[in-house]
Protein backbone atom coordinates (compact mmCIF):
# COMPACT_ATOMS: atom_id res chain seq x y z
CA UNK A 1 0.00 0.00 0.00
CA UNK A 2 2.98 2.32 0.11
CA UNK A 3 5.16 2.82 3.16
CA UNK A 4 5.10 -0.93 3.83
CA UNK A 5 7.26 -1.16 0.70
CA UNK A 6 8.91 2.21 0.13
CA UNK A 7 9.78 2.96 3.77
CA UNK A 8 9.47 -0.02 6.11
CA UNK A 9 10.11 -2.81 3.63
CA UNK A 10 13.17 -1.22 2.10
CA UNK A 11 14.76 -0.69 5.53
CA UNK A 12 17.79 -3.04 5.78
CA UNK A 13 16.39 -4.68 8.92
CA UNK A 14 13.13 -5.58 7.13
CA UNK A 15 14.34 -5.98 3.55
CA UNK A 16 15.04 -9.73 3.54
CA UNK A 17 11.81 -10.77 5.24
CA UNK A 18 9.79 -8.43 3.03
CA UNK A 19 11.42 -9.82 -0.11
CA UNK A 20 10.86 -13.38 1.14
CA UNK A 21 7.18 -12.61 1.72
CA UNK A 22 6.86 -11.22 -1.79
CA UNK A 23 8.58 -14.20 -3.41
CA UNK A 24 6.55 -16.81 -1.51
CA UNK A 25 3.14 -15.16 -1.84
CA UNK A 26 0.53 -16.76 -4.07
CA UNK A 27 -0.72 -13.36 -5.12
CA UNK A 28 0.47 -9.78 -4.97
CA UNK A 29 -1.53 -6.62 -5.42
CA UNK A 30 -0.51 -2.96 -5.36
CA UNK A 31 -2.60 0.18 -5.15
CA UNK A 32 -0.97 1.71 -8.23
CA UNK A 33 1.22 0.81 -11.17
CA UNK A 34 3.76 3.19 -9.69
CA UNK A 35 3.94 1.10 -6.50
CA UNK A 36 4.03 -2.17 -8.45
CA UNK A 37 7.02 -0.91 -10.44
CA UNK A 38 8.73 0.40 -7.29
CA UNK A 39 8.26 -2.97 -5.59
CA UNK A 40 9.86 -4.84 -8.47
CA UNK A 41 12.72 -2.37 -8.62
CA UNK A 42 13.46 -2.16 -4.88
CA UNK A 43 13.20 -5.89 -4.19
CA UNK A 44 14.55 -7.17 -7.51
CA UNK A 45 11.58 -9.45 -8.14
CA UNK A 46 9.83 -10.28 -11.38
CA UNK A 47 6.51 -11.60 -10.10
CA UNK A 48 3.17 -10.46 -11.47
CA UNK A 49 1.65 -7.73 -9.34
CA UNK A 50 -2.02 -6.99 -9.92
CA UNK A 51 -2.89 -3.31 -9.68
CA UNK A 52 -6.07 -2.67 -7.72
CA UNK A 53 -6.58 0.97 -6.84
CA UNK A 54 -7.65 2.32 -3.47
CA UNK A 55 -11.26 3.33 -3.05
CA UNK A 56 -12.96 5.94 -0.88
CA UNK A 57 -16.05 5.97 1.32
CA UNK A 58 -18.78 7.45 -0.86
CA UNK A 59 -21.01 8.02 2.17
CA UNK A 60 -18.40 10.25 3.80
CA UNK A 61 -16.71 12.02 0.92
CA UNK A 62 -18.95 13.87 -1.51
CA UNK A 63 -19.18 17.37 -3.00
CA UNK A 64 -21.66 18.61 -0.41
CA UNK A 65 -20.73 22.12 0.73
CA UNK A 66 -23.64 22.10 3.19
CA UNK A 67 -21.50 19.84 5.39
CA UNK A 68 -19.25 22.74 6.33
CA UNK A 69 -19.43 26.45 6.98
CA UNK A 70 -16.86 28.06 4.72
CA UNK A 71 -17.20 31.42 6.43
CA UNK A 72 -15.78 29.82 9.57
CA UNK A 73 -12.43 29.66 7.80
CA UNK A 74 -12.71 32.53 5.31
CA UNK A 75 -15.09 35.15 6.74
CA UNK A 76 -14.18 37.58 3.97
CA UNK A 77 -14.94 35.07 1.21
CA UNK A 78 -11.29 34.39 0.37
CA UNK A 79 -10.33 31.27 -1.55
CA UNK A 80 -9.69 28.30 0.72
CA UNK A 81 -6.67 26.15 -0.13
CA UNK A 82 -6.15 22.90 1.78
CA UNK A 83 -3.38 20.43 2.51
CA UNK A 84 -3.86 17.15 4.38
CA UNK A 85 -0.96 14.89 5.36
CA UNK A 86 1.13 13.36 8.12
CA UNK A 87 3.66 16.18 7.70
CA UNK A 88 6.54 13.84 6.96
CA UNK A 89 9.47 15.30 4.97
CA UNK A 90 8.33 13.44 1.86
CA UNK A 91 5.16 15.58 1.81
CA UNK A 92 7.29 18.70 1.24
CA UNK A 93 5.32 21.05 3.47
CA UNK A 94 7.66 23.92 2.59
CA UNK A 95 6.53 23.56 -1.03
CA UNK A 96 2.93 23.76 0.14
CA UNK A 97 3.66 27.03 1.92
CA UNK A 98 5.70 28.47 -0.95
CA UNK A 99 2.99 27.60 -3.48
CA UNK A 100 0.34 29.15 -1.27
CA UNK A 101 2.40 32.31 -0.76
CA UNK A 102 2.67 32.82 -4.52
CA UNK A 103 -1.08 32.32 -4.91
CA UNK A 104 -1.95 34.61 -2.00
CA UNK A 105 0.18 37.35 -3.52
CA UNK A 106 -2.30 37.55 -6.40
CA UNK A 107 -5.70 36.57 -4.99
CA UNK A 108 -7.28 36.69 -1.51
CA UNK A 109 -6.71 33.25 -0.02
CA UNK A 110 -6.18 31.28 3.17
CA UNK A 111 -4.36 28.01 3.70
CA UNK A 112 -5.87 25.23 5.80
CA UNK A 113 -3.35 22.69 7.12
CA UNK A 114 -4.78 19.42 8.42
CA UNK A 115 -2.63 16.80 10.13
CA UNK A 116 0.39 16.53 12.40
CA UNK A 117 3.87 15.12 12.00
CA UNK A 118 7.63 15.63 12.12
CA UNK A 119 7.57 18.78 9.96
CA UNK A 120 4.75 20.59 11.78
CA UNK A 121 7.22 22.77 13.69
CA UNK A 122 9.13 23.45 10.46
CA UNK A 123 5.87 24.56 8.84
CA UNK A 124 5.07 26.95 11.68
CA UNK A 125 8.54 28.48 11.50
CA UNK A 126 8.31 28.97 7.73
CA UNK A 127 4.89 30.58 8.04
CA UNK A 128 6.12 32.99 10.71
CA UNK A 129 9.25 33.75 8.68
CA UNK A 130 7.18 34.66 5.62
CA UNK A 131 4.66 36.70 7.60
CA UNK A 132 1.77 34.42 6.67
CA UNK A 133 0.48 33.69 10.16
CA UNK A 134 -2.80 35.54 9.57
CA UNK A 135 -3.42 33.59 6.36
CA UNK A 136 -2.77 30.05 7.60
CA UNK A 137 -5.02 27.90 9.80
CA UNK A 138 -3.64 24.83 11.56
CA UNK A 139 -6.37 22.33 12.34
CA UNK A 140 -4.14 19.45 13.47
CA UNK A 141 -5.46 15.91 13.17
CA UNK A 142 -9.13 15.70 12.24
CA UNK A 143 -11.35 12.64 12.37
CA UNK A 144 -13.93 14.15 10.00
CA UNK A 145 -12.07 15.87 7.19
CA UNK A 146 -15.10 15.21 5.00
CA UNK A 147 -16.73 18.05 6.93
CA UNK A 148 -13.98 20.43 5.78
CA UNK A 149 -12.89 19.36 2.30
CA UNK A 150 -16.09 20.34 0.43
CA UNK A 151 -15.47 23.98 1.42
CA UNK A 152 -12.06 23.99 -0.24
CA UNK A 153 -11.31 25.52 -3.62
CA UNK A 154 -7.95 23.83 -4.17
CA UNK A 155 -5.99 20.94 -2.67
CA UNK A 156 -2.18 21.01 -2.58
CA UNK A 157 -0.22 17.75 -2.45
CA UNK A 158 3.29 18.45 -3.83
CA UNK A 159 4.77 15.23 -2.45
CA UNK A 160 8.15 13.85 -3.37
CA UNK A 161 6.65 10.35 -3.26
CA UNK A 162 3.06 9.13 -3.28
CA UNK A 163 2.33 5.47 -3.84
CA UNK A 164 -1.29 6.36 -4.57
CA UNK A 165 -2.50 9.50 -2.84
CA UNK A 166 -5.64 8.66 -0.90
CA UNK A 167 -5.81 12.21 0.47
CA UNK A 168 -5.94 13.47 -3.11
CA UNK A 169 -8.69 11.01 -4.00
CA UNK A 170 -10.80 12.09 -1.02
CA UNK A 171 -10.34 15.71 -2.07
CA UNK A 172 -11.44 14.91 -5.63
CA UNK A 173 -14.48 13.07 -4.29
CA UNK A 174 -15.44 16.26 -2.46
CA UNK A 175 -15.15 18.20 -5.71
CA UNK A 176 -11.79 19.80 -4.99
CA UNK A 177 -9.20 20.07 -7.81
CA UNK A 178 -5.78 18.72 -6.83
CA UNK A 179 -2.33 20.10 -7.58
CA UNK A 180 0.10 17.20 -7.33
CA UNK A 181 3.39 15.94 -8.68
CA UNK A 182 4.58 13.98 -11.67
CA UNK A 183 6.69 10.87 -11.17
CA UNK A 184 4.44 9.65 -8.35
CA UNK A 185 1.30 7.55 -7.98
CA UNK A 186 -0.73 10.74 -8.27
CA UNK A 187 -0.52 10.48 -12.06
CA UNK A 188 -2.98 7.56 -11.74
CA UNK A 189 -5.39 9.53 -9.55
CA UNK A 190 -5.43 13.06 -10.96
CA UNK A 191 -6.51 13.65 -14.55
CA UNK A 192 -4.04 16.38 -15.56
CA UNK A 193 -5.69 19.55 -16.87
CA UNK A 194 -9.14 18.15 -16.09
CA UNK A 195 -9.39 17.42 -12.36
CA UNK A 196 -6.21 19.19 -11.34
CA UNK A 197 -2.61 19.66 -12.40
CA UNK A 198 0.55 17.55 -12.15
CA UNK A 199 3.85 19.40 -11.97
CA UNK A 200 7.48 18.43 -11.32
CA UNK A 201 8.46 18.02 -7.67
CA UNK A 202 9.66 21.32 -6.25
CA UNK A 203 8.31 23.54 -9.04
CA UNK A 204 6.22 25.77 -6.80
CA UNK A 205 6.11 28.55 -9.39
CA UNK A 206 4.31 26.30 -11.88
CA UNK A 207 2.09 24.92 -9.12
CA UNK A 208 1.01 28.41 -8.13
CA UNK A 209 0.47 29.40 -11.76
CA UNK A 210 -1.71 26.32 -12.29
CA UNK A 211 -3.75 27.07 -9.19
CA UNK A 212 -4.23 30.69 -10.18
CA UNK A 213 -5.43 29.64 -13.63
CA UNK A 214 -8.44 28.12 -11.85
CA UNK A 215 -8.96 30.65 -9.07
CA UNK A 216 -8.99 33.52 -11.58
CA UNK A 217 -11.47 31.74 -13.85
CA UNK A 218 -14.69 30.88 -11.94
CA UNK A 219 -16.22 29.00 -14.87
CA UNK A 220 -13.14 26.81 -15.31
CA UNK A 221 -12.88 26.20 -11.56
CA UNK A 222 -16.50 25.08 -11.47
CA UNK A 223 -15.89 22.64 -14.33
CA UNK A 224 -12.78 21.21 -12.65
CA UNK A 225 -14.74 20.72 -9.42
CA UNK A 226 -17.49 18.84 -11.24
CA UNK A 227 -15.01 16.71 -13.18
CA UNK A 228 -13.06 15.94 -9.99
CA UNK A 229 -16.06 14.45 -8.23
CA UNK A 230 -17.17 12.58 -11.36
CA UNK A 231 -13.74 10.99 -11.80
CA UNK A 232 -13.63 9.85 -8.18
CA UNK A 233 -17.10 8.33 -8.21
CA UNK A 234 -16.70 6.71 -11.65
CA UNK A 235 -13.19 5.27 -11.29
CA UNK A 236 -12.62 4.73 -7.58
CA UNK A 237 -15.99 3.85 -6.08
CA UNK A 238 -15.96 1.09 -3.46
CA UNK A 239 -18.16 -1.38 -5.36
CA UNK A 240 -15.94 -1.25 -8.44
CA UNK A 241 -12.72 -1.74 -6.49
CA UNK A 242 -14.08 -4.42 -4.14
CA UNK A 243 -15.29 -6.35 -7.18
CA UNK A 244 -11.76 -6.18 -8.61
CA UNK A 245 -10.34 -7.54 -5.35
CA UNK A 246 -12.87 -10.37 -5.30
CA UNK A 247 -12.01 -11.24 -8.90
CA UNK A 248 -8.31 -11.28 -8.06
CA UNK A 249 -8.84 -13.52 -5.02
CA UNK A 250 -10.75 -15.94 -7.25
CA UNK A 251 -7.95 -15.90 -9.82
CA UNK A 252 -5.36 -16.68 -7.13
CA UNK A 253 -7.45 -19.45 -5.57
CA UNK A 254 -8.08 -21.03 -8.96
CA UNK A 255 -4.37 -21.06 -9.69
Three-state SS for 44? coil
The full set of domains in the chain, from first to last, is: 3-52 (no CATH), 65-234 (3.40.50.2000)
Burial 100-129 (b: 16+ CB within 10 A, else e): bbbbbeeeebbbbbbbebebbeebeebbee
Q: Where are the alpha helices (DSSP H) in 55-105?
A: 93-104
Closest CA to 120 of 151, 141, 98: 141
H or E element in which residue 81 lies: strand 79-84
Dmax over CA atoms of the chain, in Å, equals: 61
For every one of its 255 residues, what pLDDT tens digit does the chain have, with 9 covering 90 and above?
Answer: 777 776 766 778 888 988 999 999 999 999 999 999 999 999 999 999 999 999 999 999 999 877 788 888 999 999 999 999 999 999 999 999 999 999 999 999 999 999 999 999 999 999 999 999 999 999 999 989 999 999 999 999 999 999 999 999 999 999 999 999 999 999 999 999 999 999 999 999 999 999 999 999 999 999 999 999 999 999 999 999 999 999 999 999 998
Q: Which residues are registered as beta bridge partners of 155?
A: 82, 178
Amino acid sequence: HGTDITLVGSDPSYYDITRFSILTSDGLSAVSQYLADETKDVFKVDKEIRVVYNFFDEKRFKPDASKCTKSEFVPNNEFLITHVSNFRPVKRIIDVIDTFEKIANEVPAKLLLIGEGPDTILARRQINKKGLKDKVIFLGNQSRIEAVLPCSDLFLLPSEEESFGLAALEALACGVPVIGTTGTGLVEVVDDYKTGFLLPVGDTTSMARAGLSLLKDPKRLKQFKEDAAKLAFDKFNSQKIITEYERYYEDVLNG
